[in-house]
Amino acid sequence: MRAWELMKETLWRREYLWIVHVIWLACYGGFWWLLLPDPEEFGNLLFLWGGLLLPLALSAGIMGDDIASGRICVLVTKPFWSGKLYLYRLLGLSLQGALHFALAGVLVFVLHVITGKSAMAGVGRWLLSAWLLFNTFAALSTSLSVVVKRAHNSLLLFVATLTLAVVAGMLLHSLQGHVLEPLVTGFFRYPFPPLELLHHLGKGDYTKETLTVGGWQVATSVACVAHSVLLTAVYAGMGILLLTRREFLSQRE
């Protein structure tokens, strides 16, 4: 019961959070209704608006608010392990994301039936890619919230993501054709949130591709999903480690 209450709290801890879901869904619907996009155009909106920006809006201060107010001392009283609090909060965000993208899929299907225009082909891939990206950024933002006061974790992650994208783009452009280009590409592609890989997954670029891993043939799309899940687990593990090693004050910081 306590686990369910902590997961529900990720939605109701701030009054505006359910409004965020409504606004995001309205944007999807308005984009589909007014512009009648093809699946890739709609997928790009879903991927960036829902996969990148939505988790930042929902996770602002998700741990930092309780730490700053001293409430965390009540939440993690013994024998309750503080790592469970992190897991329940992250799971609550992930369930919110799953429900959000399920509603988005139903919404665009209904609009597709009503308008009789645009195509639904590939929308399912985009929904999956957006949800995987959502989980990755939710885990990273929640981990940052352990060490960053209040709601500054989301702003910090947003700025860091933009900065990293600009730096990576400039560096890779300057290294075109250079022997170090594959090494630098791998450095930016694999340990950081998998924007590029999941975007290719949503577009269907990996549908017929396979990788050879230890003599086994593995679908590239499966490897991409596994990489995203692994990154989410690593980011979450970092947050749990930080949270369990912190000492908290019962009074407001």
pLDDT score of 166: 94
Q: Is the pLDDT of residue 252 over 60?
A: no
- Asked whether residue 251 is domain-assigned, the answer is no
DSSP 234: H
Instruction: Please report, to the nearest 10 degrees, the dihedral formed by the alpha carbons of residues 224, 228, 230, 233 taken in order.
Output: -170
Q: Work out the angle at residue 206's Cα, subtended by the Cα atoms of residues 205 and 212, and round it to the nearest 5 degrees.
A: 145
Q: How confident is the model at residue 5 (pLDDT cuts 50, 70, 90)?
A: confident
pLDDT score of 248: 64
Q: How confident is the model at residue 217 (pLDDT cuts 50, 70, 90)?
A: confident
Render pLDDT for 73-89 as a digit per residue (tens, 0 to 9).
777 776 677 888 899 99
Determine the number of helices (DSSP H) and then strands (DSSP E) in the chain: 12, 2
* Rounded CA separation 42/32 (Å): 7
Domain interval for residue 98: 2-245
- Asked whether residue 64 is domain-assigned, the answer is yes
Q: Work out the angle at residue 57's Cα, subtended by the Cα atoms of residues 52 and 63, and round it to the nearest 5 degrees.
A: 110
Helix H segments across 175-219? 181-189, 195-203
Q: Is the pLDDT of residue 163 over 80?
A: yes
Range with lowest mean pLDDT among 61-65, 147-151, 183-187, 246-250: 246-250
> How many structural domains are present in the chain?
1
Q: Is the pLDDT of residue 253 over 60?
A: no
Kindly give, in sequence order, each residue whose CB lies less than 8 Å from that of residue 164, ignoring residues fewer than 6 positions away: 188, 192
- Asked whether residue 253 is domain-assigned, the answer is no
Q: What's the mean pLDDT when you consider all of the chain? A: 88
- Asked whether residue 125 is domain-assigned, the answer is yes
pTM: 0.92
Between 12 and 86, the more confident residue is 86
Render pLDDT for 98-146 as a digit per residue (tens, 0 to 9).
999 999 999 999 988 888 766 788 899 999 999 999 999 999 999 999 9
- Asked whether residue 168 is domain-assigned, the answer is yes
- Asked whether residue 252 is domain-assigned, the answer is no
- Asked whether residue 250 is domain-assigned, the answer is no
Helix axes 152-174, 123-147, angle to 10 degrees: 120
- Asked whether residue 73 is domain-assigned, the answer is yes
Nearest to 199 by CA among 53, 93, 40: 40
